[in-house]
Amino acid sequence: MADEPRYVEHAFDGDVHVLRIANPPVNTLRTEVRAGLLDGLKAAEREGARAIVLIGSGRNFSAGAEMTEFGKPRKPPSLPEVFDAIEQSRAPVVAAIHGNALGGGLELALACHARVASPGAQLGLPEVKRGFVPGAGGTQRLPRMIGLEALRLIVGGDPVSAEEAERLGFVDAVLPGELEKAAIAWAREAATSGRQFVLARHRTDRIQGQDMAAFDEAARKLLARSRGQESPKGCVEAVRAAFTMPFEEGLNVEREQFQRLVAGEQSQALRHIFFGEREVARVPDVPEGTKPLPVRKLVVIGCGTMGGGIAMSAANFGMPVTVVESTQEALERGLKRCEANWQRTVASGRLSQAEYEKRRALLTGTTDFEKAVGEADLVIEAVFEDMGVKKEVFARLDKAARPGIVLASNTSTLDIDEIASATGRPELVCGMHFFSPANVMRLLEIVRGRKTSAETLATAMDVGKRIGKLNVVVGNCDGFVGNRMTGKRGPQVEKLLLEGCLPQDIDRVMEAYGMAMGPLATGDLAGLDIGAAVRKARGTVAPIADAVVAAGRLGQKTGKGYYDYDENRKRMPSKEVEKIILDMSEKMQVRRRRIEDQEILERLLLPMVNEGARILEEGIAYRPVDIDVIFVNGFGWPAWRGGPMFWADRMGLRAVRDRLAHYAEATNDPNLRPAALIERLASEGGSFAGMKGPARA
Ligand code: NAI
């Protein structure tokens, strides 16, 4: 054995050398790995290797660059230096890919003389999703191997399977069985049979004569999906260079795009969310090693809008689920809605009939509450939002369910502790707050009651994860995190309408910011009667919103709300609503004025940030990034904007404090007085991101 650099193991099989990347868990290409590869290549050369197999240890080839090294002084060797050594190696270097080869990991493989892969391995360049472009030659090598298809892979950022990669032409062979052995045999055979390897940088066959009008058309289609985001455009420019420039010049274009984008705010935002989505899995109230209870069979009470969606999520991810309804009629209606929903996906070609049947078979329905619940390993309740009803259902669940299983509620506003008090097992009760449509939205707020045990939280998190959700554990309060924060936006929406805006002005600003949908259009989609009912229950008024509802405009379901809708649900500004608003301004003697976009944006986002700060003070959310992850995954907040707390940090907390104080005064809204946490951080020159430990004031 030669010297063993710690992060790259060097092994032999006769004259075939093996370099094994060993940087668990995902073999990122940190400095020590790059150095180890370079040393290993030199040693193999020195020792007269006939061929070199490059492979990952553990479950992956490599997930790519070590993103935590970004923004720090670069330590040699760089990836391009490693790639130069590969390309200059006398012995062919064969990348052997299992698990994932992503980003820099795939770029490493693309620089090799050949690539072999295990069936089902995933290969991709996801850099665009982190806000930059592949920065180590990926945008130049991949087009030289597979032509225009590279544009889709690089701009879209989704991985493809080894089989698809072979079909496209950037994997030479898919090898079943134990990969290292198979790769050694393949490399030996290739090297001894005199097979000619042409490095990607020397190939022109797939880029020559590319019709650039077709390129532009393909690029236009791909970019149409990424409104406002910079990295997809950067990817297009880098890939364009592959078709129009010599290799080295193309690399320069790629490097410029990479450096510009990686330093930009969008990439910082995307990486903030990327790491945040991993961070939220670390839950202070769930000590490491806490075992979830085993759950095989899920039971959902209520097969309405939410119950049906939750059940579909389970079936979509292979978990058997039974829905319980109160009447046969409601049950049939609920199951039909699930079927119709799936059938639409089949019709669109995104789901095969066979897969549909598999999912449908996992879903059963019954009206026999006691029997179904008696067989459950976990129950999620999704009946009407009414404390009386919920407590009744939970008392009944407690009797019917096996002792020791978790009972969860999908309530969006009610007190989990009070619901739990209806049972003799409050430690096994928690909230599992899904978002509508529950089969689509990734966010799941898991609500921790006063008595909820760590094991219960771990169980809810385990089930959430298994049915494709992104869990964020939150504390128990009215609206939990997401709805509590958006709720604080409402009063400012009213005031903006009174002072000079129309619905379309507000939505335009929020959509230009990048939100999937502005707040008024969202209200129309959800139904304006919901907010009206909440206001009524709380004894609050919103003159304009109330007048819109009073005019019978309940949103899309009545064909009109803040907007008019045509038969295709296309929204149009409404004359009637404009009149309601203007009349109300006059009646309340508010002089209407032109309101700048920046003011609209601040008055909608700052109240949310302020409430977010209070949520942190109260320990309802563990960390600022938890809030940002919630907004990106449940509220259509664009990931490249990083979420509300990230936005506030960019603005600077001193400015946030001052603007809040200003609007509190100017709009007579005491709720906008800066939260204590914001006051403190602003006076210390601090930021949300810089907070250490819990924020409790
Ligand atoms: P829904 O009215 O569409 O569905 C409720 C279903 O529960 C109905 O089909 C009803 O027949 C059934 N049901 C009532 N009592 C029952 C009982 N004792 N046993 C069995 N089935 C019973 O209501 P939706 O919108 O699905 O809401 C359900 C829960 O989810 C509520 O707590 C709501 O606050 C919450 N939620 C709603 C969201 C939404 O956007 N609609 C979002 C997140 C949570």
CATH number at residue 37: 3.90.226.10
Q: Which residue segment(s) compose the domain that 136 sits in?
A: 8-195+204-262
Residue 320 structure tokens? 């058997």
User: What pTM does this model have?
Assistant: 0.92
Q: Is 366 in the pocket of ligand 1 (CB under 6 A)?
A: no
Structure tokens belonging to residue 626: 């938890």
Identify whether the C-beta of residue 635 lies closer than 8 Å to the C-beta of residue 482: yes
Whether residue 616 sits in one domain with residue 583: no
Domain boundary among 587, 620, 640: 587
Residue 524: partners with Cβ closer than 8 Å, 6 or more residues away? 555, 556, 561, 562, 563, 565, 571
Q: Which residues of the chain have pLDDT under 50?
A: 1-2, 4-5, 697
CA distance 604 to 505: 12
DSSP state of 65: S
Q: How far apart are CA 568 and CA 8, in angstroms?
A: 58
* In contact, 228 and 514? CB cutoff 8 Å: yes
User: Which CATH number do you get for residue 327?
Assistant: 3.40.50.720
Residues 32 and 53 in one domain: yes
Tokens representing residue 200 in the block? 């990607």
pLDDT of residue 71: 78
* 326 and 380 in a common domain: yes
The answer on 583 and 547 residing in a single domain is yes
Q: Whose Cα sits closest to atom 4 in ligand 1?
A: 304
Residue pointed to by tokens 């045509």:
566
Q: Which atom belonging to ligand 1 lies closest to the Cα atom of 396?
A: 18
Rounded to the nearest 10°, the torsion over CA 306, 310, 313, 318 is: -150
One domain, residues 603 and 566: no
In testing the pocket of ligand 1, which one of 379, 386, 412 has its CB within 8 Å of the most ligand atoms?
A: 412
Torsion of the alpha carbons at 268, 270, 271 and 273, rounded to the nearest 10? 120
**17 pairs with which residues across the strands?**
12, 52
- C-beta of 326 in contact with ligand 1 (< 6 A): yes
Residue 92 belongs to some domain of the structure: yes
In this prediction, residue 72 carries a pLDDT of: 84
Contact 4, 38 (CB under 8 A): no
Question: Is 277 part of a structural domain of the chain?
Answer: no
Q: Three-class SS of residue 85?
A: helix
Structural domains in the chain (count): 4
Ligand 1 atom closest to the Cα of residue 383 is 7
Q: Are residues 211 and 310 in the same domain?
A: no
Beta strands at 470-475 and 443-448: parallel, antiparallel or unpaired = parallel
Q: Which amino acid is at 29?
A: L
Distance CA(613)–CA(3), nearest Å, equals 53
Is position 184 within any domain?
yes
423 and 407 Cβ atoms separated by less than 8 Å:
yes
Q: Ligand 1 centroid to 432 CA: how many Å? A: 13
Cβ atoms within 10 Å, residue 72:
8
Would you tell me how many other CB atoms lie within 10 Å of the CB of residue 516? Answer: 13
* Coil, helix or strand at residue 147: coil
pLDDT tens per residue, range 484-516: 999 999 999 999 999 999 999 999 999 999 998
CA dist 39 and 35 (Å) reads 6
Residues 6 or more apart whose CB falls under 8 angstroms from that of 169 comprise: 145, 146, 206
Q: Are residues 370 and 515 in the same domain?
A: no
Residue with the two structure tokens 């301004």? 585
Angstrom distance (rounded) from CA 479 to CA 414? 8
| 78 CA to centre of ligand 1 in angstroms | 56
- In a shared domain, residues 38 and 173: yes
Tell me how long the chain is. 697
Give domain status of residue 267, yes or no. no
Q: Cβ distance 131 to 262 under 8 Å?
A: yes
DSSP classification of residue 293: P
81 closest CA partner among 27, 133, 34: 34
3-state secondary structure at position 517: coil
The answer to whether the CB of 382 is under 6 A from ligand 1 is yes
Ligand 1 atom closest to 392 (CA) = 18
Mutate which of 326, 332, 435, 522 to test ligand 1's pocket (most atoms within 8 Å of Cβ)? 326
Same domain, 58 and 139: yes
The structure tokens 């009545």 sit at: 558
- Identify which of 336, 384, 416 to mutate to test ligand 1's pocket (most ligand atoms within 8 A of the CB): 384
Residue 345 CB burial class (10 angstroms; 0-12, 13-18, ≥19): middle
Burial class (CB in 10 A: 0-12, 13-18, 19+), 238: buried
Q: Cα angle at 641 between 636 and 644, to 5 degrees?
A: 75
Encode 165-196: b = buried (16+ Cβ within 10 Å), e = exposed.
Answer: bbebebbbebbeeebbebbbbbbbebbeeeee
Q: What is the CA radius of gyration of the chain?
A: 28
Active site residues: 107, 127
Atom 20 of ligand 1, residue of closest alpha carbon: 325
- Ligand 1: does its nearest atom lie under 6 Å from the Cβ of 303? yes
* CATH number for the domain that contains residue 603: 1.10.1040.10
Minimum CA distance residue for ligand 1 atom 15: 383
Give yes or no for residue 250 CB within 6 A of ligand 1. Answer: no
Question: Of 7, 91, 117, whose CA–CA distance to 109 is shortest?
Answer: 117
pLDDT at 601: 98
224 by Cβ neighbours in 10 Å (0-12 / 13-18 / 19+) ranks as exposed
Is residue 290 one of the residues assigned to a domain?
no
One domain for residues 549 and 415: no
Q: Are residues 105 and 234 in the same domain?
A: yes
Residue 461 belongs to some domain of the structure = yes
3-state secondary structure of 174: strand
Residue 643 within a domain: yes
Q: Answer yes or no: do 622 and 671 share one domain.
A: yes
Q: Which residues pair with 62 in a beta bridge?
A: 101
Answer yes or no: is 3 within a domain: no
Kindly state if the Cβ of 434 falls inside 6 Å of ligand 1. Answer: yes
